Amino acid sequence: MPESSVRSEEGTVVAKVVRPMNDHRSMTVEVADQHSTRHIVEYDTDRVERTLAALPQGSALRVLMTPIEGRANVWRVGAPEPRRASGR
């Protein structure tokens, strides 16, 4: 199986918002260091969901992402942390 089709496992990544959260509570992000696009559809807490809902396109955030079993490229997100510039 080619590496690009292997499903990634749970882990903390820097996710960049490609499509902000829509009315169905889903959003699309890019994980740059893995060259992958992921669809977020579940959130660990209401606070996590509200934090992500407020992000505009192009924002980057460090989050814990867990694949949702039995579904294609969809993910659950938790523990957002603001991405900070180095030296701060």
pLDDT of residue 14: 93
Strand duo 11-19 + 60-67: pairing: antiparallel
pTM, to two decimals: 0.78
What does the pLDDT profile of the chain (88 residues) look like in tens digits?
Answer: 343 443 567 889 999 999 999 999 999 999 988 889 999 999 999 999 999 999 999 999 999 999 999 888 999 999 755 555 444 4
Residue 48 lies in a domain: yes
Count the domains in the chain: 1
pLDDT of residue 87: 42
CATH of the domain at 31: 2.40.50.140
pLDDT of residue 1: 36
Residue 5 lies in a domain: no
pLDDT of residue 35: 86
Residue 8 lies in a domain: no
Residue 88 lies in a domain: no
Distance CA 15, CA 75 (A): 12
Domain span at residue 38? 14-81
